Structure 1
């Protein structure tokens, strides 16, 4: 870890928090991710080598513990008291960004957005008893990130970056920025549908139920 060689508490905190990807890793840890795979899934674009390095650095400074997984291979990563005390810091960072920065297409990674829906904000108890496959087409994204699928299942919902080969129940076409605005609680689904910003095709009952499966407003921890 690089040091600023300054006694200032902001400088000392920055030695831990200002490393690239570290706040994202901490956000995922404080949101309940415990395994390496869960942490990696919550940080698309971060190499596994860098993730491993950041986790071991956080352990070294006493922010997390790393323990062998009691039920097999791998490890469990958990925040210490010092790590848990960072929650209001991250929330303050998010609140500051919400007030002062606009949401742009480059900030709206649809893979992360759908992963967040399936993990942190899914209202699983409202899902129908059968599996529902939803295809998303994001009109403001590059071709490689334009089409994704979510398999909503009470047992375990998941995001698919390639066609899972299952019959699609609903198709949603929209800009990723619009879905992100809705996910954050800034945009109402019905209003976006009426305006044509979000377009849904499929059975009416499922189309109406889909937005109720997201708790919304769960942006970080």
Structure 2
């Protein structure tokens, strides 16, 4: 860690937290990820070597606790780490209000589907196994098709056909689906504008926006467009 050479508590905190990827690793842990591969799925552009390094640094700082049970390593936040929840949530809310533009480099189907998988309100889904398929029309074929399966209160995401009957298919561009998930556009508006197409039985089609919902920060109020233009 690089020292700022200041006694200021903000400076001391940032000596640990402003290393690249550190806050995103913490974001993933606060969202419930405890295993290395899950942390990787939440940060798909982060190398395994760098993730290992960041976890060791956080462990030495007392933010993360590493444990091994039955040969499997897990990482959990200590009381110190859990106290950062408000910091991460405030940063996310600030980003929603003030950093609205998404570049092409910000669009990642792997991260989008992983975030959906861990956030969808499974209690709103039917009790039987239900599968929603996604067809992304503007990405490479290898990353264009996904299957979200909810069964027994558990959600799983696959980038290959799991072999179950599909209840509804969602067809959209990656940018559109990302904007809907973020709350920049509502499901209803995207469907009305034919930016999102839902295919399947009418009852299930009507239920899909409730099944999928939006990301946790989607409810953060946006700035008035005029205010955003004047800043």
Q: Fold-level match, TM-score > 0.5?
A: yes
The residue correspondences of 1:125-204 to structure 2 (distance < 5 A) are: 125-204=123-202
Q: Aligned equivalents of 1:81 and 1:136: distance in 2?
A: 38
Which residue number in structure 1 is paired with residue 227 of structure 2? Answer: none
Q: Cα gap change, 1:160/1:43 in structure 2, threshold over 3 Å: closer, same or farther?
A: same
Contact 2:42-2:115 within 8 A present in 1 as well: yes
Unaligned runs of 5+ residues in structure 1 are none
Q: Cα gap change, 1:160/1:183 in structure 2, threshold over 3 Å: closer, same or farther?
A: same
Which residue number in structure 1 is paired with residue 41 of structure 2? Answer: 41
- The correspondence for 2:76, drawn from 71, 75, 78, is 78
Contact 1:111-1:159 within 8 A present in 2 as well: no
Q: Aligned equivalents of 1:175 and 1:106: distance in 2?
A: 15
Q: Aligned equivalents of 2:179 and 2:48: distance in 1?
A: 29
Which residue number in structure 2 is paired with residue 9 of structure 1? Answer: 9
For residue 27 of structure 1, give the secondary structure of its aligned residue in structure 2. Answer: helix
Q: Aligned equivalents of 2:24 and 2:217: distance in 1?
A: 12
Query: Number of residues paired by the alignment?
Result: 217
TM-score norm. by structure 2 comes to 0.83
Bigger relative CO (Cα 8 Å, ≥ 6 apart): 1
Contact 2:116-2:215 within 8 A present in 1 as well: no
Unaligned runs of 5+ residues in structure 2 are 219-231
